Amino acid sequence: MRPTSFAAAAVLALAAVHPALAGNSGLLGAIKREATKAAGSNSGLPAGDVQNALSVFRAVRTAAAAVRPPSPKAEETPGPAAATTFDAPDAIADEPTAAGFAEPAPVNYSSREIHRPQDLRFSETMSARKKALEQFGKSPCDACEGGYQYDTSVRHLVAGWTRQDGAFEQKVGAMHVGESFNWRGATTSGLFRVESEAPIGPFPCKQVRYVLTRGKQSADRLGLFCFGKREYSTLDEWIEVF
């Protein structure tokens, strides 16, 4: 077999194995050179298909190894992602919390637990402000129980108001947003004003503000009145909740 025949056979053999490399001019040249060398080295051997085939095989193998592109690096298989940790909430609210209501907003609202307005509870901050207003309006009183009187006792200080149970709450329930009244305490002047009318769950409510002023000093807090049943009562009425 002539060198050119070896070269042609090598090209055909490689193209069958790897068609994409058969069109590579550098590869063709390498195959031709190796095929020629193989033919020359076998020129003294008896011609035969077996020997010719072996020569072509060796030529293709040698040439392909010389120009074979580097094997791509194996892609690194990423390990399992690190688990994300988070702090679970103490409880998952199934209904709006304080953020969903006008201030002063309850911190324990749930229709499953709140059956009457007096079941509502408020934050320590709100409770502290209520206490601070009471202290601001506190003054000694020899004739008073405990030796002190409180200018926040609105129902007992507004002239002309009856002290009948529920009368003060019903008066507030009839007021509209923006309406107010004043009173005079022992050491301060008081102002009561309806700030808004926003329900809490099924209860109609009024958000109010108490203000006490003494000279250039003043203190205030928010309050809440809602319409519903008192404990052990079957009647709906206005109740001072906070």
List, for residues 190-227, the tens digit of each pLDDT value: 999 999 999 999 999 999 999 999 999 999 999 999 99
Give me the residues of the chain with pLDDT under 50, please: 1-4, 6-8, 10-23, 28, 35, 38-39, 42-45, 47, 49-50, 53-54, 57, 72, 74, 79-97, 99
In a domain, 94, yes or no: no
In a domain, 91, yes or no: no
pLDDT per position as a tens digit, 89-120: 343 334 444 547 999 999 998 877 889 999 99
Co-location of 116 and 191 in the same domain: yes
Co-location of 117 and 15 in the same domain: no
Domain that holds residue 205: 111-240
Co-location of 126 and 63 in the same domain: no
In a domain, 208, yes or no: yes
Co-location of 157 and 233 in the same domain: yes
pLDDT value of position 21:
45
Co-location of 60 and 159 in the same domain: no
pLDDT value of position 111:
73
pLDDT value of position 30:
53
pLDDT value of position 155:
83
Burial class (CB in 10 A: 0-12, 13-18, 19+), 214: middle
Co-location of 231 and 121 in the same domain: yes
In a domain, 203, yes or no: yes
Instruction: Give the number of residues written for the chain.
Output: 242
Co-location of 123 and 203 in the same domain: yes
Work out how many domains the chain is built from and give that number: 2
pLDDT value of position 82:
44
Dist. CA 35–CA 201, nearest whole Å: 93
Neighbour order of strands in the sheet with 205-214: 180-184, 189-196, 205-214, 217-229, 236-240
pLDDT value of position 40:
52
In a domain, 97, yes or no: no
pLDDT value of position 209:
98
Residue 99, C-beta contacts closer than 8 angstroms, at least 6 positions apart = 105
